[in-house]
Amino acid sequence: MVLAANHGEKEGSEGIPTLDFRGYLIDKSKTGGWLAAGLILGTELAERICVMGISMNLVTYLVGTLNLPSAKSATILTNFMGTLNLLGLLGGFLADAKLGRYITVAISATIAALGVCLLTVATAIPSMRPPQCNEVRKQHHECIQASGKQLALLFVALYTIALGGGGIKSNVSGFGSDQFDTTDPKEEKKMIFFFNRFYFFISIGSLFAVVVLVYIQDNVGRSWGYGISAGTMVLAVAILLCGTPFYRFKRPQGSPLTVIWRVLILAWNKRNLSMPSDPSFLNGYHEANVPYTEKFRFLDKAAILDENCSKDENKNDVWLVSTVTEVEEVKMVIKLIPIWSTCILFWTIYSQMNTFTIEQATFMDRKVSSFVVPSGSLSAFLFITILLFTSLNEKVTVPLARKLTHNTQGLTSLQRVGIGLVFSICAMVVSANIERERRENAVKNNTIISAFWLVPQFFLVGAGEAFAYVGQLEFFIREAPERMKSLSTGFFLTTLSMGFFVSSLLVSIVDKVTNKRWLKSNMNKGKLDYFYWMLAILGALNFILFVVLAMRHQYKVQNNMKPNNVSGEKELVSANDVIIGVDGKEEA
């Protein structure tokens, strides 16, 4: 792909050129659109098949085959998922700074394919597992745990997958959204549904993983299940490369982290300077690609032309003075941080569906006639719910909200996130009550209740994810500067990462504070319902903080000035108008 173009360029939003793979002016009839976006999403589909096929059933392998304790197994899984999403920040940085989204996705997918191949080998070699342990020895805690050497290849495989998966996740959605021109009303309308369809598409992959691959892993062999995942990822790389002529590309604009760091340093160095009487005196004010805002005015000092900039050649020295565009881009990133912090706990709650909920199922009746449902396959209800709600959102909820609010988005990104948070709180309340009922029946009545009692908590978390994931992804991509789109996706993925890491931290703290009384490998002797109640309370407190911050947030599209209906003066619209419906619509 040609990264420099001298043959005419189509300017995208915020002035960034949109090119074809030769570097020429794009032909909209031959590039982009749903064909290109669909080919790109094939890579995310494969990544989701691989990662979900691992995460939804890894705990049963660690506990049942490698004989590791329940809390340790949950920590291994959440640390793997946390690292995968954290590495999305690295993938976003590389794409925005140097490689571009296309090359980053291609390289990352290749690395992920290698990682799944290693995982296949790690689970296929008998010497990588401890001696098999029967039920009697398990009850007396006499099983031999996997050694460090036996776990080494498994960890290498998992973190190779994490490296590749992080690069894919942080760039696929941004690269897919690049296939739509937001300055074209027709393509802008398609863009509105892109993120919803994006998550619907990858949820299909998740459903396939938990129904088909988990069954193969439990009944045919782990190595067979992971081998299918490896083949899927290799095929996805081939499809991605074959679609190259159909894509639209945007050249990387340099390291966004360098821009952020430079603006912060210059603002600090010039902290003692007086602000100019009018912002038009700031460097690059009239050439700015984004509107000037009054918020975080202390950063404006980075764009003050001081005595060091008296010579004309020094005005272009980026280490002496920033432009208003750069300062405003940093402001956009800073404005994301409060909302980012309140999204973390949703993923802490979600991570319980991968760990303790799956382990709960192993203590419950999973028979359907003569067929025993694999515990990991119960996650199918999670993804069925996600598919159901993403379809309802697109066909019913969004059109209805659009009619009621006259807002082209229907539901704003923050409204989606808020709904998701409410669902997650309800899920933990239901989870706590079901676990208490399960344990009391097992201990007092010596009966095993049906595993399908877990369906309500899967349903509630799945419904929450359908709103929260799409809302968070849309929020971070739309609210970030255009040239930091991949980095902002990586920033969004750090909420998932931190959610999993917080889960690991909470498990460790609770395990220590309760002297291992709450979270036991034998759940009949533990108090898992107390852990769920703790998450419900934390979720409620987090939701209150989210509402306060969301009502204060100013959407990027709202930074443009609009006339005041009464006086004719100009005013900025706050997110409060959107959240509680004061104004009834957003300004585009």
Mean pLDDT of 276-294: 79
Does residue 539 surpass a pLDDT of 90? Answer: yes
**Can you state the angle between helices 148-177 and 485-513, rounded to 10 degrees?**
140
Mean pLDDT, rounded, for 463-474: 86
pLDDT at 92 over 50: yes
The residue among 342, 347, 354 whose CA lies nearest residue 75 is 354
Per-residue tokens: 219: 């009944």
Q: What is the mean pLDDT of residues 161-187?
A: 82
Instruction: Name the pLDDT band for 524 (thresholds 50, 70, 90).
Output: confident
Q: Which residues, at least 6 apart from 141, have a Cβ–Cβ distance to it below 8 Å?
A: none
pLDDT greater at residue 411 or residue 237 = 237
pLDDT at 135: 60
* CB atoms near residue 137 (< 10 Å): 14
pLDDT of residue 371: 82
Query: Other C-beta atoms within 10 Å of 562: how many?
Result: 12
Q: What is the mean pLDDT of residues 539-564?
A: 75
% of the chain surpassing 90 pLDDT: 15
Determine the average pLDDT of the residues in 140-148: 73
Question: What is 330-553's CATH topology?
Answer: Growth Hormone; Chain: A; (1.20.1250)
Q: What is the mean pLDDT of the chain?
A: 80
Q: Give, for 367, the enclosing helix (H) or strand (E).
A: strand 367-368
Backbone CA torsion sign across 449, 455, 458, 459: negative
β-bridge partners, 367: 372
Looking at residues 550-565, what average pLDDT do you find?
A: 59
What's the chain's length in residues? Answer: 588
- For 185-225, what is each residue's pLDDT tens digit? 777 777 767 766 777 777 788 888 888 888 888 888 888 88
User: In the block, which residue shows the tokens 């304790």?
Assistant: 69
pLDDT value of residue 559: 45
DSSP string, 435-484: HHHHHHHHHHS----BGGGGHHHHHHHHHHHHHHHHHHHHHHHHHS-GGG
Residues of the chain with CATH 1.20.1250.20: 18-254, 330-553
DSSP string for residues in 95-159: IIIII-HHHHHHHHHHHHHHHHHHHHHHHH-GGGSPPP--HHHHHTT-PPPPPHHHHHHHHHHHH
- The confidence score (pLDDT) of residue 137 equals 56
Looking up tokens 């790690």 gives: 122
DSSP string, 557-585: GG-S-EE-TTT--EEPPPHHHHHTTSS-S
Rounded CA separation 355/336 (Å): 30
Q: 367-368 and 17-18: which strand pairing?
A: unpaired
Tokens, residue 157: 């495989």
pTM of the complete model beyond 0.85: no
Could you tell me how far CA 508 lies from the centroid of its own chain? 24
Tell me, what's the pLDDT at 583?
Answer: 31
What is the amino acid identity at position 218? D
The CATH class given to the 18-254 domain equals: mainly alpha
The DSSP symbol for 353 reads T
CA distance 343 to 499: 8
Round to whole Å and give the CA distance between 257 and 260: 5
Dist CA 523 CA 520 (whole Å): 5
Least confident of 167-176, 392-401, 527-536: 392-401
Model pLDDT for residues 315-357, shown as the tens digit of each residue: 667 778 888 888 888 888 888 888 889 989 999 999 888 788 8
Position 573 scores a pLDDT of 36
User: What pLDDT, on a 0 to 100 scale, did the predictor assign at position 568?
Assistant: 35
Give the DSSP letter string of 194-251.
Answer: HHHHHHHHHHHHHHHIIIIIHHHHHHT-HHHHHHHHHHHHHHHHHHHHHTGGG--B--
CA distance 36 to 175: 10
pLDDT, residue 508, reads 87
Range name among 46-50, 77-81, 378-382, 408-412 with the lowest pLDDT average: 408-412
Instruction: Specify whether the CB–CB gap between 36 and 178 falls below 8 A.
Output: no
SS3 call for 355: coil
Beta pairing partners, 25: 19
Bridge partners (DSSP) of residue 11 are: 17
